[in-house]
Structure 1
Amino acid sequence: MTVLIGLSSYMEQAAMGLWDRPAAVLPRVYSDCVVGTGAAFVALPPQPPTLDAVSRVLDAIDGLIVTGGKDVDARLYGQEPHPENDAPRPDRDQWEIALVRGAIERDLPFLGICRGLQILNVALGGTLIQHLPDVIGSNRYSYGGAVFADNPAITEPGSRLASIVGDRVTVKSYHHQAIDRVADGLTVSARGDDAVIQAVDVDGMTFGVAVQWHPEESPDDLRLFAALVDAADARLAH
């Protein structure tokens, strides 16, 4: 049976022929990577995160990817927003936090990408560095202008992530925030050469991995997507 992966998606103003209105959208690179592993996908745009809606969605999919996007609202972790932050998107924040918590509860294979890592940390009670240049003194992780930066991620020996990508990998970065206080239930699995957290494993999950970088921008390396799909396939078989 083909594995079905849910991809959280955006609700954005979009032009479609004569129409210019809010629509559920997602960069195709994400779905291409899922399809490239032999799995199928379904988009999960923001909607009211009722218990029943979240349960029905998670019961229907075999794995979950929370994708990149706008900054998580700083008020969700008890801080006032930094002037450089994106305007809050409470619809997406609330929906994805509910999906992540539900996935952990079900041990549903989970992959967080960039914002997905941050949503995971905030959902479990952690905090974020709101503007990395204030801390590290450079914009090495976000050049702006839709240009991805190359940076190293150095994995922790014995981590789930290390078993997938090895001890060091060059990654595509586009973020100005990062994990500050790590939430209970997460273990750091990779850092940059400047000690900025680049990935975490979710304690106790069969497969729970979140990375600060954008693996969908390296379509010749599908190891993270394939690992998620393999875990989903194994769960489906049982």
Structure 2
Amino acid sequence: MRTRRVAVLHVTGEREHNPTYQRLADDLNVSAVATIASLGWQSRLHAAADSSVGSALAIARDSHLIVVVGGEDVRPDFYGGPLDYTGAGSHSAAADEAQLAVIRDAALRGTPVLGICRGHQIINVALGGDLIQHLEETGQHRVPTPGAATRFTRHTVDLADSSLQHAIAAGEYVQSSHHQAVGRLGDGLRAVAASSDGVVEAITHASLPIVGVQWHPEHTGAPADQLARLLRHTLTKAA
């Protein structure tokens, strides 16, 4: 059986302004890479903001599966939202441009894409949707205490149909930390899971092997095989 090549696109390898967040992002990336290796696949970790759009496209086109992971808020210019919004975080237009180009190119080529947190949101933006720019800090989507050791919260999601039945079990716990969410759905996308307050937690494309989840299956507090199941599921959609 041929070895699968997986492109893992993250935002950047250096956040001098926020080393704590960089360490968290690095830990999540290491966990994702370890899961990919456990499946016998090869991963290539690529920092989208640290090189050209062309290099991101080249790596993605040479891969059997693309995984777009978490990071900064998507810059509102890309979905027609106001730049000044409640809870506005930092942005990386360079990462946005590269990841949007990769997702749109993958859609044209039929390459499987799995989006995680920011990756889930940027899939929606790439296909013409928009984002809810800020969720109330109720503790349902992240711990509402800035500066806390971890802002991840553990919760369940409600599956809308059987689309993710082979990847996520009913009542299974997930780990989340986000203040934005998918709003108007992009072309061909449908919401297949939601949290108890109605926030979209997972999307799939009607005809393409594209999946997005708002939570972090690569988090060490998630069920051990949750990311592996989602990776296999996304590849299976392309079969």
Give the alignment's Cα RMSD to 1 decimal: 2.5
Q: Could you tell me whether the CA contact under 8 Å between 2:35 and 2:227 is conserved in 1? A: no
Q: CA deviation at 1:40?
A: 1.4
Higher mean alpha-carbon deviation, 117-126 vs 31-40, is at 31-40
Q: CA deviation at 1:227?
A: 4.5
Higher mean alpha-carbon deviation, 192-201 vs 36-45, is at 36-45
Q: Distance in 2 between matches of 1:71 and 1:93?
A: 9
Q: Distance in 2 between matches of 1:67 and 1:77?
A: 19
Structure in which a larger fraction of residues adopt strand: 1
Question: 1:167 corresponds to which residue?
Answer: 170
When the two structures are superposed, what TM-score results if normalisation uses the length of structure 2? Answer: 0.83
**Runs of 5+ consecutive residues of structure 1 not aligned to the other structure:** 16-21
Equivalent position SS for 1:175: coil
Question: 1:140 corresponds to which residue?
Answer: 140
Question: 1:18 corresponds to which residue?
Answer: none
Question: 2:214 corresponds to which residue?
Answer: 212
Given the superposition, is the C-alpha separation of residues 234 and 221 from structure 1 closer, same or farther in structure 2, using an over 3 Å criterion?
A: same
Q: CA deviation at 1:37?
A: 2.1
Equivalent position SS for 1:44: strand
Matches within 5 A, 1:52-67: 53=55, 55-67=57-69
**Runs of 5+ consecutive residues of structure 2 not aligned to the other structure:** 17-21
Instruction: Select 1:156's aligned residue among 136, 160, 163.
Output: 160
Question: 2:19 corresponds to which residue?
Answer: none
Q: Distance in 1 between matches of 2:225 and 2:96?
A: 27
- One-letter identity of the residue aligned with 1:116: G
Instruction: Give deviations 1:124-148, integer Å, cap 9, x for gaps.
Output: 1111111100xxx623211143331
Q: Distance in 1 between matches of 2:177 and 2:160?
A: 22
Q: Distance in 2 between matches of 1:61 and 1:8?
A: 12
Is residue 2:135 matched to residue 1:124? no
Q: Could you tell me whether the CA contact under 8 Å between 1:111 and 1:208 is conserved in 2? A: yes
Q: CA deviation at 1:70?
A: 0.6
Is residue 2:5 matched to residue 1:4? yes
- One-letter identity of the residue aligned with 1:79: G
Equivalent position SS for 2:185: coil
- One-letter identity of the residue aligned with 2:69: T
Identity within the alignment, %? 27
Matches within 5 A, 1:64-143: 64-81=66-83, 82-133=85-136, 138-143=138-143
Q: Could you tell me whether the CA contact under 8 Å between 1:128 and 1:180 is conserved in 2? A: yes
When the two structures are superposed, what TM-score results if normalisation uses the length of structure 1? Answer: 0.83
